[in-house]
Amino acid sequence: MTTSPLAASQVHVVLSDCSAADAGSLFAALCSRFSSDRCAEDAPHESREHRPTMWAGTFDTSGADDASASGGAADASVPPAGLSAPVTADVQGSPLAVKRVQEVLGEVFTVHELGEDAGDQEVQLQLRLEDKSSHEIRSV
């Protein structure tokens, strides 16, 4: 199977080990800053069968420079996302685009980097994302 390479500004995000609601919260946080192939009507939903589910989306970080110039804050019209449990995210793309996605995720969630696989033009990070409020409560 061959896949076409991502554009330098595109990042592919795959979520696993989470509920559909948590996947929706995470994608909503990313969609508040980046254009995506995931539209609002494409909300994650649980499958009828009891088996592991993964959700994927591609996000274009090319407009992130505009957000950074305005202070880098997330869209105020989108409420901060919450997670009911930790989410595993595999993030793949050019190093700069992946960094932009990781920074946006860090504004909304507590981000733990679990691993990195770097090539000469692409990087893949595995992240564990947690709700910031629950992480702050546990660490007190």
Task: Note whether residue 135 is domain-resident.
Answer: yes
Task: Note whether residue 73 is domain-resident.
Answer: no
- The pLDDT of residue 109: 93
Select from 71, 57, 60, 67 the least CA-distant residue to 97.
60
Name 58's bridge partners. Answer: 12
The answer to which of 16-20, 70-74, 86-90 has the lowest mean pLDDT is 70-74
Number of domains in the chain: 1
The reported pTM is 0.77
Residue range 12-69, pLDDT digits in tens: 999 987 888 899 889 989 988 999 887 666 666 566 666 667 889 999 999 765 444 3
- The pLDDT of residue 71: 37
Residue 116 structural domain: 10-67+80-139
- The pLDDT of residue 16: 85
